[in-house]
């Protein structure tokens, strides 16, 4: 082999090795892109009356409403036992591998005492797991053992102020930083080095109260933008230094029900709030420094059930106990189906809605038309049916309070 050819091969191998070393195995809130879209092929297109086969279940994960994160060989979930927060790791057969405490967990007072337990979904990147309790304790754990590498307390270390239902965000990582919203006057939004736990930057942002939103990151040529809700604003911050780039104000509401992670697609940001502006489409400038409202539909409400964008339409559960389909060019409803609201996700041309009445619904899509293709009642578990469903490698995972269930939804 000629010297120049050998050199080319060496350079190519180094490039491939570098690319592999920089790749990341991520499991997080609402899928790879935090948008409720899950990979999957050859999944069931109709369910038997009793529902798909239950592979296994575990009824010992404690109180909570947070969803799960699934990797190639294990899954993670947060829960409250007694007054403590725990992160549980299972193999994909439902066997407990480890559980690690993460300080006190939310118990509530008065009305909120009816909803004790965890709120957030663990975030897994390669060999590390990042978790947050509803009291604001953020911890970094080793994936194999659950050993804690570092922790910070948003209330104590950052003078954060939680909302009435506690801290609910599922953490976001971009590069070497993990992002959180403590809600303090001076440290309103924070970036933490994900390897050391040291504060990288703190932003006053708008000094607003905490909402319940899990953030997302938009990656542009000019900059990366952290997008999240505070109590009264959708905000965009430069991930490099925390500079507040723009905001979109929400009408005042005492409950601050901005829970759903926004979706970014083709230069536009979409969000659906539980009150106020309802459904909104914003145009993001090429440099990411400004936004322009394209439309809003105040008649569309969605407190915390999530929504999905499929081609030119948004699909969103609604308090009128319907799933509504919106045209993204106008914001107007073009179709709907009568199904109780609940956590909504998409995989292999089908919608899955885990309704707050305990029904798990399979919905066939034909363009904008929705047709019920199966439903069954989730029988195990405790309290409200609030956790969002997850699909991974042909298995549908459901968390109902203290119970974690795995259903086989692959075609045989």
Average pLDDT on 193-207 reads 98
- DSSP single-letter state for residue 282: E
The pLDDT of residue 7: 38
The pLDDT of residue 124: 98
Average pLDDT on 25-30 reads 94
Task: Compute the distance between CA of residue 310 and CA of residue 119 in angstroms, rounded to an integer.
Answer: 27
pLDDT band with cut points at 50, 70 and 90 for residue 6: very low
What CATH number does residue 284 fall under?
2.130.10.10
Give the range of the structural domain holding residue 110, as residue numbers without chain letter: 26-408
Q: Do residues 216 and 261 lie in contact, with contact meaning Cβ atoms separated by under 8 Å?
A: yes
Q: Do residues 237 and 203 lie in contact, with contact meaning Cβ atoms separated by under 8 Å?
A: yes
Identify which of 227, 304, 299 has the alpha carbon closest to the alpha carbon of residue 270: 227
Note whether residue 277 is domain-resident.
Answer: yes
The pLDDT of residue 9: 36
Per-residue pLDDT tens digits for 221-267: 999 999 999 999 999 999 999 999 999 998 866 666 789 999 999 99
Per-residue pLDDT tens digits for 56-96: 999 999 999 999 999 999 999 999 999 999 999 999 999 99
pLDDT at 392 over 90: yes
Task: Compute the distance between CA of residue 91 and CA of residue 97 in angstroms, rounded to an integer.
Answer: 7
Contacts of 150 (CB under 8 A, 6+ apart): 139, 140, 196, 197
Number of other residues whose CB lies within 10 A of the CB of residue 122:
27
Q: Do residues 233 and 245 lie in contact, with contact meaning Cβ atoms separated by under 8 Å?
A: no
Task: Please write down the HEC assignment for all residues of 56-117.
Answer: EEECCCCEECCCCEECCCEEEEEEEECCEEEEEEEECCCCEEEEEEEEECCCCCHHHHHCCC
The pLDDT of residue 256: 66
Domain count for the chain? 1
Note whether residue 279 is domain-resident.
Answer: yes
Task: Compute the distance between CA of residue 374 and CA of residue 248 in angstroms, rounded to an integer.
Answer: 39
Q: CA distances (Å), 211 to each of 43, 269, 345, in order?
A: 35, 18, 22
Task: Compute the distance between CA of residue 17 and CA of residue 11 in angstroms, rounded to an integer.
Answer: 10
Task: For residue 317, give both structure tokens.
Answer: 């559960």
Note whether residue 370 is domain-resident.
Answer: yes
Note whether residue 20 is domain-resident.
Answer: no
Task: Compute the distance between CA of residue 326 and CA of residue 336 in angstroms, rounded to an integer.
Answer: 9
The pLDDT of residue 250: 87
Average pLDDT on 317-323 reads 96
Note whether residue 220 is domain-resident.
Answer: yes
Q: Do residues 370 and 318 lie in contact, with contact meaning Cβ atoms separated by under 8 Å?
A: no
Full-model pTM: 0.93
pLDDT at 404 over 80: yes
Sheet with 403-408: list strands edge to edge. 53-58, 403-408, 395-400, 390-392
Contacts of 301 (CB under 8 A, 6+ apart): 272, 273, 274, 275, 278, 318, 319
The pLDDT of residue 29: 98
Task: For residue 125, give both structure tokens.
Answer: 């990147």
Instruction: Work out the angle at residue 239's Cα, subtended by the Cα atoms of residues 211 and 226, and round it to the nearest 5 degrees.
Output: 35
Instruction: Look at residue 309 and give its three-state secondary structure.
Output: strand
Identify which of 77, 75, 46 has the alpha carbon closest to the alpha carbon of residue 61: 77
Task: For residue 72, give both structure tokens.
Answer: 């190639």
pLDDT at 390 over 90: yes
Note whether residue 182 is domain-resident.
Answer: yes
Note whether residue 5 is domain-resident.
Answer: no
pLDDT band with cut points at 50, 70 and 90 for residue 24: low
Sheet with 333-338: list strands edge to edge. 308-310, 313-318, 322-327, 333-338
Note whether residue 3 is domain-resident.
Answer: no
């Amino acid at each position: 082999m000629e010297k120049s050819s050998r050199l080319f091969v060496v350079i190519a191998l180094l490039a491939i090795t570098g690319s592999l070393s920089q790749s990341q195995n991520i499991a997080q809130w609402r899928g790879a892109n935090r948008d409720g879209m899950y990979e999957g092929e050859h999944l069931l297109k109709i369910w038997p009356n009793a529902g798909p086969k239950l592979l296994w279940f575990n009824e010992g994960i404690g109180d909570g409403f947070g969803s799960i994160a699934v990797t190639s060989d294990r899954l993670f979930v947060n829960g409250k036992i007694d007054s403590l927060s725990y992160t549980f790791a299972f193999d994909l057969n439902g066997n407990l591998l480890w559980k690690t405490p993460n300080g006190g967990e939310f118990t509530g007072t008065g009305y909120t005492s009816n909803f004790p337990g965890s709120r957030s979904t663990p975030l897994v990147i390669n060999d590390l797991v990042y978790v947050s309790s509803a009291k604001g304790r953020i911890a970094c754990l080793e994936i194999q053992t659950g050993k804690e590498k570092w922790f910070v307390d948003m209330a104590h270390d950052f003078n954060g102020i939680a909302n009435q239902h506690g801290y609910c965000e599922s953490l976001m990582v971009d590069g070497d930083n993990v992002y959180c919203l403590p809600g303090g006057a001076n440290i309103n939004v924070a970036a933490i080095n994900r390897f050391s736990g040291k504060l990288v930057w703190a932003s006053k942002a708008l000094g607003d109260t905490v909402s319940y939103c899990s953030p997302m990151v938009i990656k542009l040529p000019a900059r990366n933008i952290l997008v999240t809700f505070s109590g009264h604003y959708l905000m965009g911050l430069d991930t490099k230094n925390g500079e507040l780039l723009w905001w979109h104000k929400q009408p005042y509401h005492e409950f601050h029900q901005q829970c759903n992670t926004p979706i970014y697609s083709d230069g536009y940001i979409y969000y659906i709030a539980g009150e106020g502006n309802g459904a909104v489409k914003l145009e993001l400038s090429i440099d990411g420094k400004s936004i322009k409202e394209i439309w809003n539909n105040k008649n569309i409400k969605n407190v915390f059930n999530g929504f999905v964008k499929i081609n030119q339409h948004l699909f969103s559960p609604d308090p009128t106990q319907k799933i509504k389909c919106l045209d993204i060019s106008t914001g107007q409803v073009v179709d709907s189906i009568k199904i109780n609201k609940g956590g909504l996700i998409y995989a292999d041309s089908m919608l899955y809605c885990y309704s707050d009445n305990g029904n798990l619904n399979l919905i066939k899509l034909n363009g904008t038309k929705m047709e019920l293709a199966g439903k069954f009642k989730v029988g195990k578990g405790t309290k409200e049916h609030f956790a969002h469903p997850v699909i991974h490698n042909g298995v549908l995972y459901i968390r109902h309070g203290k119970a974690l269930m795995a259903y086989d939804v692959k075609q045989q």
